[in-house]
Structure 1
Amino acid sequence: MVWGDLYSFKTTSAESNGAHALLEMTVNPGSATPPHIHHAEDEMFYVLEGELSLWCGDQKIVGKPGSFIAVPKGMVHRWANETKSPARSLVFLVPGGFDEFLMKIGKPATDSVKPSLPPTKEEIDFALSIAGKYHMEVVTQ
């Protein structure tokens, strides 16, 4: 569970010798990430259920079931669930490594359905303090 959303790791970077990571995320209504850049990996989303809005640079893409959205490393992007229903997506990271960041800032899930809770100041500060180690930069506007 990362800040109220469920992440299920299908293949970790440790299991792939750093080649990639694959995870399934269930994004609750209203959940969103800040604009950020992955400097080391490409990130690809395959929407399974619901709608996931992604902003890649200045372009907004609304991913629906069957949509595939690729975000190359170095591109400012963010995502959000702007609907009233959960959205599920596969996320493929190449090469692997960023999954380790998610595991560090997340907590084991106690159930598969939980409303998104805003992260605490301490959780945000911790994530920001280790983001650089995982080649991720949060973009402030």
Structure 2
Amino acid sequence: MAPLLHKEVSMTTFPADDPDKVPFAGILPAAPQPYVLGNGEGEKSLVFDQLFEILLSGDETDDQYGAWTMKARQGDRIPAHIHLQTHEFFYVVDGEISVWMDDQADYHSKTTLTTGDFAYVPAGIVHAFKIENTTTVFGAGTAGFERFFHAIGEKTDAAEPQGVYVPDFGVMRAAGEKYATVFMPEFQFRD
């Protein structure tokens, strides 16, 4: 299978009335200014069985990057997907997560990361992950992408992942289009 080409999609700051921001208005300053968040005070959404908390968005960084945490218990591998424009990384704060990456050419890997380990996923790389035990991951990526988690998730105030929220395919497809992400559930990793 030939590598997918990068698609031109604008990943700039979204307007104040963007539906992925409105439910969270006032949590982050929405401008490049100093601020402090206490533990659990960011914008939180449940996606599948994972709790994503946005700590910093493109609004606060002049469209440079966004940052988040993801907390989850042991679970199934998430569907393979590719971000056409977003570079992202995983830093394991605590726990264990397996990460699959495939450039659809020469690079194919499955790596299990533990506390203190780091993985970088450039735009255009098919990837997936599986939480192996209770884990907290710090992540960052290209500005604007961070609210992808709100677009496919369910807003929550929970401090820890609780329950499961499975978005319907239409929601996933719309979020994928908006945030330049292609879901590839039939993709076969070489593991």
Whether the 8 Å contact between 1:12 and 1:96 is mirrored in structure 2 is: yes
Give the secondary structure class of the aligned counterpart of 1:100: helix
In the alignment, structure 1 segments of 5+ residues that lack a partner are: none
How much does 1:16 deviate?
A: 1.2
SS in structure 2 at match of 1:50 = strand
138, 150, 153: which one pairs with 1:103? 150
Q: Distance in 2 between matches of 1:136 and 1:114?
A: 24
In structure 1, distance between residues paired with 2:144 and 2:113: 25
Higher percent of residues as helix: 1
CA RMSD of aligned residues (A): 1.7
For residues 83-117 of structure 1, give each alpha carbon's deviation from its aligned partner in whole angstroms, at most 9, with x where no partner exists.
Answer: 3xx11000110x21211221222222232223452
Matches within 5 A, 1:53-64: 53-57=98-102, 58-64=108-114
Query: Which residue does 1:65 correspond to in 2?
Result: 115
Q: Is the 8 A contact 2:47 2:164 kept in 1?
A: no
Structure 2 alignment gaps of length 5 or more: 1-45, 103-107, 187-191
Task: Tell me how far apart the structure 2 counterparts of residues 103 and 119 of structure 1 sit (CA, whole Å).
Answer: 13
1:117 maps to 2:167: no
Aligned to 1:137: 182
What is the CA-CA distance between 1:133 and the residue it aligns to?
A: 1.9
Identical counterparts, % of pairs: 24
Q: Is 1:2 aligned to residue 47 of structure 2?
A: yes
Say which of 67, 74, 78 aligns to 1:33: 78
* Pairing 1:92–2:137 present: no
The answer to whether the Cα contact below 8 Å between 1:28 and 1:115 also exists between their aligned partners in 2 is no
1: CA distance, partners of 2:131 / 2:135 = 7
Distance 1:129 1:33 in 2: 18
Structure (1 or 2) with the larger CA radius of gyration: 2
Query: 1 or 2 for the larger relative contact order (CA 8 Å, sep ≥6)?
Result: 1
What TM-score do you get using the length of structure 1 for normalisation? 0.86
Aligned length: 136
